[in-house]
């Protein structure tokens, strides 16, 4: 192989390592391999072999540790046929090593911090690594990467309701993602995101600043202080409202046209009860009411009974809806 052929062979080796060689290119590689010297030694001596290994090692570490860039001194070798074979062999090893490193390093899953607010234990407050703060309703589950704040600020709200007080960070938006692909994007503000697994609705309520709500295909809305957005993911229906929202962090909770499934979640997560009911019997029920921090489970059940006429039994932490 002459000097003009070397970059061609190196390119083919790269394609072979990635598994994208055509049959014609494979034939060229086989011809190249067959032309290797069979009887004469590949290296002139141990000194020459050590020089090439050191250069190859430096090149590999240059690739896998880009944050530590050091110049590599060229190895002084004679321009001979043997040395070109050595360079090509070294290039092949380097290409395969680099590709294997990238393949396996890209498969590594990120490490997450998972935070859950236990049912029946009250609201919890959490400070994030970027000094932003989060309040979690009982039964809420969030997670974020351990390197949160280094390259991005993303919170995944898996289930529940959370209030976010976001520390401003120019050029690094704060994202809250919920199941189904809805996400809320801000730079610095205060807002609540509610996404219960029992319902197909995501609600965003802004206390201050400006947020952008979107799904995987479009922007659903831009919200400012005292504006709210509800998004039904099954029907792709958007509803916007305005007005001061109840600060549920104080323990008071306002429900507006809430489904019975949402009320059941409150009974289970806020009060730690187990609720048994027939879904078809309560599918059409809707509730608008206010739950005070002083409201007991028995008080709430009596209120639901007065509104809808439901009959229930409460025994040893288990509620059965008749």
The CA distance from 182 to 171, in Å, is: 21
Strands 274-276 and 318-321: parallel
The residue ranking higher by pLDDT, 279 or 6, is 279
Highest mean pLDDT among 9-18, 23-32, 40-49, 243-252: 243-252
The CA distance from 148 to 160, in Å, is: 21
Residue 1 has pLDDT above 60, yes or no: no
Question: How many other CB atoms are found less than 10 A from the CB of residue 75?
Answer: 16
Percent over 90 (pLDDT), the chain: 51
Question: How many other CB atoms are found less than 10 A from the CB of residue 113?
Answer: 13
The residue ranking higher by pLDDT, 245 or 73, is 245
Domain boundaries, the chain: 6-106, 109-248, 252-322
User: DSSP character for 109?
Assistant: P
222-249 pLDDT, tens per residue?
999 999 999 999 899 999 999 998 899 9
3-state secondary structure of 26: helix
CATH of the structural domain 252-322, one choice from 1.10.10.60, 3.40.50.300, 3.55.50.30, 3.40.50.12160: 3.55.50.30
* Average pLDDT rounded to a whole number, residues 275-294: 91
Residue 294 has pLDDT above 90, yes or no: yes
- Identify the bridge partners of residue 255 per DSSP, sorted by sequence position: 289
- For residue 6, what pLDDT is reported? 62
pLDDT band at 28 (very low <50, low <70, confident <90, very high): confident
pLDDT band at 109 (very low <50, low <70, confident <90, very high): confident
Q: Which of 157, 148, 111 is nearest to 130 (CA)?
A: 148
* Residues found in the chain: 322
Residue 12 has pLDDT above 80, yes or no: no
Q: Which of 252, 287, 256 is nearest to 270 (CA)?
A: 252
Question: Is domain 109-248 in CATH 1.20.1070.10, yes or no?
Answer: no
* Average pLDDT rounded to a whole number, residues 44-58: 62
Q: Which of 204, 197, 196 is nearest to 164 (CA)?
A: 204
- For residue 209, what pLDDT is reported? 93
- For residue 26, what pLDDT is reported? 74
Least confident of 82-96, 129-143, 184-198, 303-317: 82-96
Residue 36 has pLDDT above 90, yes or no: no
* Average pLDDT rounded to a whole number, residues 107-116: 85
* Cβ neighbours of residue 9 closer than 8 Å, sequence gap 6 or more: 1, 29, 32, 88, 91
* Average pLDDT rounded to a whole number, residues 2-25: 62
* Cβ neighbours of residue 246 closer than 8 Å, sequence gap 6 or more: 252, 253, 254, 290
The residue ranking higher by pLDDT, 148 or 103, is 148
- For residue 7, what pLDDT is reported? 63
User: DSSP character for 119?
Assistant: T
In this prediction the pTM is: 0.64
Q: Among the residues of the chain, which ranges form H helices?
A: 6-18, 23-34, 46-64, 81-106, 260-269, 279-282, 297-308
User: DSSP character for 294?
Assistant: T
Percent over 70 (pLDDT), the chain: 68
């Amino acid at each position: 192989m002459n000097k003009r052929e070397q970059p061609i062979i190196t390119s083919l080796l790269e394609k072979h390592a990635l598994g994208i060689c055509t049959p014609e290119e494979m034939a060229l590689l086989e011809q190249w391999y067959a032309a290797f010297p069979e009887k004469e030694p590949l290296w002139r001596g141990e000194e020459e072999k050590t020089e090439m290994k050191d250069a190859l090692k430096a090149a590999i570490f240059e690739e896998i540790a880009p944050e530590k860039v050091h110049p590599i001194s060229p190895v002084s070798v004679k321009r001979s046929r043997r040395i070109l074979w050595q360079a090509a062999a070294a290039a092949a090893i380097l290409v395969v090593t680099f590709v294997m490193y990238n393949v396996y390093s890209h498969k590594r899953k990120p490490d997450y911090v998972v935070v859950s607010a236990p049912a029946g234990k009250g609201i919890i407050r959490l400070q994030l690594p970027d000094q932003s703060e989060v309040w979690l309703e009982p039964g809420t589950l969030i997670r974020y990467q351990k390197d949160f704040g280094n390259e991005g600020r993303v919170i995944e709200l898996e289930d529940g309701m959370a209030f976010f007080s976001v520390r401003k960070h120019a050029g690094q938006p704060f994202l809250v993602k919920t199941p189904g692909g809805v996400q809320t994007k801000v730079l610095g503000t205060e807002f609540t995101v509610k996404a219960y697994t029992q319902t197909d609705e995501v609600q965003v309520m802004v206390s201050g600043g400006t947020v952008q709500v979107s799904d995987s295909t479009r922007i659903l809305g831009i919200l400012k202080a005292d504006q709210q957005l509800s998004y039904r993911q099954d029907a792709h229906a958007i509803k916007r409202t305005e007005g001061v929202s109840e600060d549920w962090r104080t323990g008071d909770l306002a429900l507006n046209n809430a489904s019975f499934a949402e009320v059941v979640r409150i009974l289970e997560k806020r009060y730690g009860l187990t609720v048994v009911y027939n879904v078809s019997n309560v599918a059409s029920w809707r509730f608008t009411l206010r739950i005070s921090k002083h409201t007991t489970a028995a008080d709430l059940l009596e209120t639901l009974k007065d509104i809808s006429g439901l009959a229930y039994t409460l025994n040893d932490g288990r509620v059965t809806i008749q």
